[in-house]
Amino acid sequence: MNNKKPFLFDLTLKEITEIITDLGEPAYRAKQVWEQLYDKVTPSIEAMNGLPKSLREKLSAAADISHLHPEVDLKSSDTHTRKILFSLPDGAEVETVLMGYHTRRTACISTQAGCALGCTFCATGQGGLQRNITSGEIVEQVIFFERELRKNNEKLTNLVFMGMGEPFANYKEVMKAVDTLTDPDGFNFGARRITISTVGIVPYIEKFALEESQVNLAVSLHAATDELRETMLPVNKRYPIDVLIKACRNYIYKTNRRVSFEWALIDNVNDTPEQAKALARILKGMLCHVNFIPLNPTTGYEGHESKQRRIQAFRNILDEAGIPNTLRIRRGIDINAGCGQLKHAVHNNS
């Protein structure tokens, strides 16, 4: 693939219009291309049947419609989870997960190829960062699974930017992707059905608070004291808990929107009564919700998921403090598709 050609999913409607007119075609054709990309989710330029063949040929020579090449396609034994490893034109790799629930179809989207933040229990962090990916490479993950679902008369209902990478470390491209996906004249995905997760990059939480966006914010917390959190999430040394929680409270004040806190329960590490009490203390009075999930196993981390009695004791302390919380179901563990299990070298899993 010639990676120097413009990538259609990277482009705004205005930029596609410029390409179309440069090809000697009328400007209105650009809107037709836009509809083929985002309304009809057409898989190739050649298949854009609403366009003249001559335009399709010229557009194919001038632009790319895909950067994602499926390398490994895995389905979990419960049949509700599917994970695909995609290679990108330069050899970088990302994984994307589709999760099925009773009425929801949720895509877990990667925002970087790898991750530089080094969270100890996360396979992506253990592998390091390859590169930031473009807004179009983020968008195409969504379109790919929407296309797959439509084959069964289904559609995506929710998007979570919780795959590989730290979304706020690639802030500009992530927000551009959100703009593209929520464009009412394009894919028209509801912003309130999108969640962006961060480990706590405070300046970008503050920036996000000013966006006036309806997109949901989730923060990967995992510990309620600096001493413990620094051993798990190195970013805590730069943005300690008091600074992070202050930024979250400020976000809530400015947006009047709830913050979700993510917490992977690790046996005898962060599932203690002391951590539960500390968590209840720092979240007191906050418009928030805590999502618990038992730790998913990775080869680079020796910890184990919490036992049910420890989980229940932990949650009881939060319940007594009036902190809303939910215990999430682990999904796709057998294909390493769970939270913290995504990485860019899974060929041996196929």
CATH number, domain of 95, equals 3.20.20.70
Tally of structural domains, the chain: 2
Residue 3 belongs to a domain: no
Sign of CA dihedral 307, 313, 318, 322: positive
Q: Decide which of 62, 81, 99 is a domain's last residue.
A: 62
Residue 1 belongs to a domain: no
Residue 218's domain comprises: 69-349
Tell me, yes or no, if 227 is annotated catalytic: no
Residue 282 belongs to a domain: yes
Helical segments of 217-341, H only:
226-232, 241-255, 273-283, 308-320
Q: Are residues 127 and 23 in the same domain?
A: no
Q: What is the pLDDT along the chain (350 residues), one digit of tens a residue?
A: 445 899 999 999 999 999 999 999 999 999 999 999 999 999 999 999 989 999 999 999 999 999 999 999 988 787 788 989 999 999 999 999 998 888 899 999 999 998 877 777 676 666 778 899 999 999 999 999 999 999 999 999 999 999 899 999 999 999 999 999 999 999 999 999 999 999 999 999 999 999 989 999 999 999 999 999 999 999 999 999 999 999 999 999 999 999 999 999 999 899 999 999 999 999 999 999 999 988 866 556 667 888 999 999 999 999 999 999 999 775 544 444 445 444 544 443 33
Q: Which of 95, 137, 140, 262 is catalytic?
A: 95
pLDDT in tens, 184-236: 999 999 999 999 999 999 999 999 999 989 999 999 999 999 999 999 999 99
Q: Decide which of 47, 62, 77 is a domain's last residue.
A: 62
Q: What is the pLDDT of residue 341?
A: 45
Closest C-alpha to 330, from 74, 81, 73, 72: 81
Residue 136 belongs to a domain: yes
Q: What is the pLDDT of residue 305?
A: 83
Q: Are residues 238 and 280 in the same domain?
A: yes
Q: Are residues 275 and 309 in the same domain?
A: yes
Q: Are residues 90 and 236 in the same domain?
A: yes
Q: Are residues 114 and 49 in the same domain?
A: no
Residue 249 belongs to a domain: yes
Cα atoms found within 13 Å of the Cα of residue 228, Cβ hemisphere only: 16
Helix (H, G, I), strand (E, B) or coil at 108: strand
Q: What is the pLDDT of residue 160?
A: 96
Q: Which of 115, 119, 248, 339 is catalytic?
A: 339
Tell me, yes or no, if 339 is annotated catalytic: yes
H helices, E strands: number in the chain: 11, 12
CATH code, 57: 1.10.150.530
Q: Are residues 109 and 239 in the same domain?
A: yes
Q: Are residues 56 and 160 in the same domain?
A: no
Residue 85 belongs to a domain: yes
Closest C-alpha to 194, from 220, 165, 156: 156
pLDDT in tens, 130-176: 899 999 999 999 999 999 999 999 999 999 999 899 999 999 999 99
Please state, as a whole number, how many other Cβ atoms lie within 10 Å of the Cβ of residue 326: 12
Q: What is the pLDDT of residue 31?
A: 97
Q: Are residues 106 and 238 in the same domain?
A: yes
Residue 328 belongs to a domain: yes
The answer to whether the predicted template modeling score (pTM) of the entire model surpasses 0.95 is no
Q: Are residues 337 and 237 in the same domain?
A: yes
Closest C-alpha to 161, from 203, 133, 131: 133
Q: Are residues 117 and 17 in the same domain?
A: no
Helix (H) or strand (E) holding 126: helix 123-127
Q: Are residues 17 and 101 in the same domain?
A: no
Chain centre to alpha carbon of residue 150? 21
Q: What is the pLDDT of residue 126?
A: 62
Residue 306 is which amino acid?
S
Both structure tokens of 230? 């620094």
Please state, as a whole number, how many other Cβ atoms lie within 10 Å of the Cβ of residue 171: 19
CB 141 within 8 A of CB 68: yes
Chain centre to alpha carbon of residue 172? 14
Q: What is the pLDDT of residue 298?
A: 59
Q: Decide which of 19, 39, 62 is a domain's last residue.
A: 62
Q: What is the pLDDT of residue 100?
A: 85
Q: Are residues 124 and 188 in the same domain?
A: yes
Residue 296 belongs to a domain: yes
